[in-house]
């Protein structure tokens, strides 16, 4: 199964401090708006999302249909295929996608340790 680009979305207390911290590791701003309290930072193929006051805890994020540069992939598993596979294998979902839709959608699962997994398709 192809899940697309992977990033970790971090819930941060001070986005400016977090930005400076991750810049020390070689990350640069790739997308987002500091004024809106979110940034996507990139170092090579690694992506980190910094989000202040938007959610609790950290989230593993996958973007079906995108590569790490937010460019559309020619081949990928649609989120509805991924959802069907997860449900058939007994993975409960906190948020599901309507099966009779197409295009952008998202679903959320929670792993056995309480980590949220967001599958967020933009294409």
The CB density around residue 72, as the number of other CB atoms within 10 Å, is: 11
Place of tokens 């967020």: 120
Return the CATH number at 12.
3.10.180.10
Count of domains in the chain?
Answer: 1
- 108 strand-pairing partners: 95, 118
pLDDT of res. 82: 98
What is the extent of the structural domain holding 13? 5-121
Question: What global pTM score does this model have?
Answer: 0.91
Tens-digit pLDDT profile for the chain (123 aa)?
Answer: 899 999 999 999 999 999 999 999 999 999 999 999 999 999 999 999 999 999 999 999 999 999 999 999 999 999 999 999 999 999 999 999 999 999 999 999 999 999 999 999 999
pLDDT of res. 123: 96
């Amino acid at each position: 199964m192809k899940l697309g680009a992977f990033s970790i979305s971090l819930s941060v207390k001070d986005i400016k401090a977090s930005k400076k911290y991750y810049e020390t590791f070689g990350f640069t701003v790739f997308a987002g708006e500091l004024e809106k309290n979110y940034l996507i930072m990139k170092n090579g193929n690694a992506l980190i999302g910094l989000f202040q006051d938007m959610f609790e805890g950290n989230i593993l994020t996958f973007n079906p249909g995108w590569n790490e540069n937010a460019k559309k992939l020619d081949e990928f598993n649609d989120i509805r295929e991924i959802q069907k596979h997860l449900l058939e294998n007994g993975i409960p979902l906190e948020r599901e996608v309507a099966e009779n839709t197409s295009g952008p959608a998202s679903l959320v699962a929670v792993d056995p340790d309480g980590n949220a997994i967001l599958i967020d398709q933009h294409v």
